[in-house]
Amino acid sequence: MNWNAVAGRFTPPARLAVIGDPIGHSRSPQMHNPALQASGIDAQYIRVQVPVGSVAQAFRQFAACGFLGVNITIPHKFEALDAVDVLDPLARQLGAVNTLAIREGKLHGYNSDGPGFLRSVKEAFGTDIQDLRVLIIGAGGGAGRAVAVQSALSGCRQLMLVNRSHEKAEAVAAEIFLLGRRAETSVIPWRDDALRAALAKTDLIVNATSLGMRPNDVRLLPADALLQRHLVFDMVYRADGRTPLLADAAAAGARTVDGLSLLLHQGAISFEHWFGRPAPLEVMREGLQNAVKA
């Protein structure tokens, strides 16, 4: 690829990107480009497809072409961890990098999954994670692992992990223990009886699986076990804003938020790493909402 040509064929010039494989589905440009324009920054945010195994090479090319930063999505978050020069301590603890800031030729790696989750919970429910008993479905890796570790680091009252692979959830629980966090952490079998018992002592329910993207996906939880007092965070988002989990939760009178909120706050944190100032959050929110409606 002629990287200089890629960077130079855009007006304003391409100086930020999101990488993945595939990447055509990403709505990050529709969120970041209005923010750049509103902030008077002469730069454009683009999508770049990068094959597995090429992340380190891509990072060096971005730096050589004068890029300021990059967002990293599936499947590159773990590969990016080993491709940076300076790794933020939180990204090390969360085990993945999804934000790259390029400063004076150095590659700085961050993770906005955990912090973005905390901001989303605060905005949606008006509460902090340390006040909550948290049940995470899909806690065995990726965003689920990051949210589990972040919840433990932030001192949640209780942490319950659910995963199709019980062994993966056990591994995450062991990692949390090694971080020195002694909050009560347990691994719950993915069975209706076990989930019912766990939900009776849960405040915040988090879906970190991909289930709910399609209308015919199986339900995550027994609908009649959802209560009005539950807070429900579905990392999945759909154009209609109604995953099966959120529909069941709304029917129970529970408060809900979908994954669009997480994407928004992750984007705002990336902006802050790149430019050292607060992001224009409402401009980014409007851009993201328009992209989903379209």
Q: Could you tell me if 133 and 252 lie in one domain?
A: yes
The CATH number of whichever domain residue 151 belongs to comes to: 3.40.50.720
Q: Could you tell me if 69 and 135 lie in one domain?
A: no
- 197, burial (CB in 10 Å: exposed 0-12, middle 13-18, buried 19+): middle
Q: Could you tell me if 98 and 11 lie in one domain?
A: yes
Q: Could you tell me if 127 and 221 lie in one domain?
A: yes
The CATH number of whichever domain residue 107 belongs to comes to: 3.40.50.10860
Tokens of 72: 């990293």
Domain that holds residue 283: 3-111+261-293
Instruction: Please report which helix (H) or strand (E) contains residue 185, including its range.
Output: strand 184-188
Cα first-last separation, the chain = 31
Backbone angles phi, psi at 69, to 5 degrees: -175, 170
Q: Could you tell me if 127 and 214 lie in one domain?
A: yes
Q: Could you tell me if 9 and 23 lie in one domain?
A: yes
Taking the whole predicted model, whether its pTM rises above 0.85 is answered as yes
Per-residue pLDDT of the chain (294 residues; tens, 9 = 90+): 555 555 557 889 999 999 999 998 899 999 999 999 999 999 999 999 999 999 999 999 999 999 999 999 989 999 999 999 999 999 999 989 999 999 999 999 999 999 999 999 999 999 999 999 999 999 987 889 999 999 999 999 999 999 999 999 999 999 998 887 666 899 999 999 999 999 999 999 999 998 887 777 888 999 999 999 999 999 988 777 689 999 999 999 999 999 999 999 999 999 999 999 999 999 999 999 999 887
Decide: 100 and 123 in contact? Cβ < 8 Å: no
Q: Could you tell me if 63 and 95 lie in one domain?
A: yes
Q: Could you tell me if 287 and 233 lie in one domain?
A: no
Tokens of 149: 């570790």
Cα 294 off chain centre by: 22
Catalytic residue list contains 201: no
Q: What are the residues facing 20 on neighbouring strands?
A: 49
- Count how many domains the chain has: 2
Q: Could you tell me if 44 and 62 lie in one domain?
A: yes
Catalytic, out of 77, 106, 168, 201: 77
